[in-house]
């Protein structure tokens, strides 16, 4: 992987990618590279006007479709209208907002970062030909899965811990999905990636003091969104085993070219992954669609 760049992405002609949150940041940069390498890219975005503006800046075949991961009705509508695809990249997310609820009553970060992608992936799974990519974060290390209170309905709400929970959930979801696919005899692979510290607008939705700190960090420490997209691109296009986790290889995983990334012990807890899956099915009403192999 040493020195791997966007120029090393293999030819993607004839392949279709769906990328959530592709109108800006990591998702936009990934879409731009994939389209340039011949892929047809579906920009799945909440604001289609922003999506169209983003698509106009991409050289290659694109389609813009509305998807609000914080609304299960929107997720189902998107899935219902989606033909077969090769790769789904679960990229969209929110970070550190004030306490809010989704249309379905979920804590906003949990609904957007985990439950929405969980539902979308399972609803599309019988049409995904090759791969699911889950974009996580090193913030998973501060996460704890609150199986008895995933939605922070009791006690004090702490948005940083709520975010960490969702990023830990991303990695547990990826691992459990791969186990289920293997048991079903499916050839689909699940990979995960994180961008390190990349300068995107994800860090601009907190309070003014925290936004200012993030802006300073973006100037001093962060790498570009284009560099931050490289782990996602690697996880989406290179021949790696299922449940591989890719991130930047330098400065403690904060920046650099793609490399194998480590994950916390909590992110490798198969029992918690299974329990989280069951709870996610209960909350969303969406289940794994493939039968176990005989």
pLDDT above 70 covers what percent of the chain? 92
What local confidence, expressed as pLDDT, does residue 140 receive? Answer: 97
What local confidence, expressed as pLDDT, does residue 217 receive? Answer: 47
Dihedral in degrees, nearest 10, Cα atoms 232, 118, 76, 233: 10
What local confidence, expressed as pLDDT, does residue 212 receive? Answer: 44
Q: Average pLDDT of 186-215?
A: 73
Q: Which residue has the higher pLDDT, 217 or 48?
A: 48
Q: What is the pLDDT of residues 118-134, one digit of tens each?
A: 999 999 999 999 999 99
Q: What is the pLDDT of residues 128-162, one digit of tens each?
A: 999 999 999 999 999 999 999 999 999 999 999 99
What local confidence, expressed as pLDDT, does residue 134 receive? Answer: 98
Q: Is the pLDDT of residue 206 over 70?
A: no
pTM for this predicted structure: 0.93
d(CA 279, CA 294): 26
Residue 213 pLDDT grade (very low, low, confident, very high; cuts 50, 70, 90):
very low
Phi and psi torsions of 89, nearest 5°: -110, 110
Q: Is the pLDDT of residue 286 over 90?
A: yes
Q: What is the pLDDT of residues 12-36, one digit of tens each?
A: 999 999 999 999 999 999 999 999 9
What the chain holds in terms of domains, given with CATH numbers, is 11-284 (3.40.50.720)
What local confidence, expressed as pLDDT, does residue 253 receive? Answer: 83
User: Helix axis angle, 72-80 relative to 116-124, nearest 10°?
Assistant: 20
Q: Which residue has the higher pLDDT, 221 or 95?
A: 95
d(CA 27, CA 25): 6
Q: Average pLDDT of 192-219?
A: 64
Residue 283 pLDDT grade (very low, low, confident, very high; cuts 50, 70, 90):
very high
Catalytic residue positions?
163
Q: Is the pLDDT of residue 63 over 50?
A: yes
What local confidence, expressed as pLDDT, does residue 251 receive? Answer: 81
What local confidence, expressed as pLDDT, does residue 202 receive? Answer: 60
CB-based contacts of 12: which residues, under 8 Å, 6+ apart?
A: 34, 37, 38, 39, 237
CA 165 to centroid of chain Cα atoms: 14
Phi and psi torsions of 218, nearest 5°: -60, -35
What local confidence, expressed as pLDDT, does residue 101 receive? Answer: 98
Q: Which residue has the higher pLDDT, 2 or 185?
A: 185
């Amino acid at each position: 992987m040493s020195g791997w760049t966007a120029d090393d992405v293999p030819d993607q002609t004839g392949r279709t990618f769906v990328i959530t949150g592709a109108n800006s940041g990591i998702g936009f940069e990934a879409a731009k590279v994939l389209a340039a390498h011949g892929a047809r890219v579906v920009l799945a975005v909440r604001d289609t006007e922003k999506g169209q503006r983003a698509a106009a800046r991409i050289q290659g075949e694109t389609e813009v479709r509305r998807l609000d991961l914080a609304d299960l009705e929107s997720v189902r509508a998107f899935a219902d209208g989606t033909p077969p695809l090769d790769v789904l990249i679960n990229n969209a997310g929110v970070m550190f907002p004030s306490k809010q609820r989704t249309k379905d009553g979920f804590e906003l970060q949990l609904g957007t970062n985990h439950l929405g992608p969980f539902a979308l992936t399972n609803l599309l799974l019988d049409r995904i030909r090759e791969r699911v990519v889950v974009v996580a974060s090193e913030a998973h290390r501060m996460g704890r899965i609150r199986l008895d209170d995933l939605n922070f309905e009791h006690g004090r709400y702490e948005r940083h811990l709520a975010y960490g929970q969702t990023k830990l959930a991303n990695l547990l979801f990826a691992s459990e999905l791969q186990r289920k696919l293997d048991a079903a005899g499916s050839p689909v692979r699940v990979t995960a990636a994180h961008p390190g510290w990349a300068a995107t607008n994800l860090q601009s939705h907190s309070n003014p003091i925290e936004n200012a700190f993030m802006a300073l960090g973006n100037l001093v420490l962060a790498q570009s969104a284009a560099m931050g997209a490289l782990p996602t691109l690697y996880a989406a296009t290179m021949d790696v085993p299922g449940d591989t986790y890719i991130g930047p290889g330098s400065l403690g995983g904060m920046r650099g070219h793609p490399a194998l990334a480590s994950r916390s012990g909590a992110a490798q807890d198969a029992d918690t992954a299974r329990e989280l899956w069951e709870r996610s099915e209960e909350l969303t009403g969406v289940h794994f669609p493939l039968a176990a192999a005989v």
